[in-house]
Amino acid sequence: MGASDGKHIAIQKPINSDSYYYNYKGFSSIVLLSVVDADYKFLYCDIGANGAGSDAGIFSDTELKENLKTN
């Protein structure tokens, strides 16, 4: 058993980024997406996706999804 979730990390809006990093919470961010096991050990981390993306959308672009699909 374990869990996966995303966390918005607040950043200063990059120049000329328009709403690319602007999230639904009302600030600019990048997303940390991680998977942990039942002992709170991190099994996977992905950081740097733009804040406008959803957890599911970000997950769909990760190597983890590709590896789960092929293995």
Residue by residue, pLDDT tens for the chain (71 residues) are 789 999 999 999 999 988 999 999 999 999 999 999 999 999 999 999 999 988 889 999 999 999 999 98
Contact 22, 28 (CB under 8 A): yes
> How confident is the model at residue 9, as a pLDDT?
96
Beta-strand runs (E) in 18-69: 29-37, 42-50
The pTM score is 0.81
Q: What is the CA radius of gyration of the chain?
A: 13
pLDDT computed for residue 2 by the predictor: 85
Contact 51, 8 (CB under 8 A): yes
Tell me the domain boundaries of the chain.
2-70
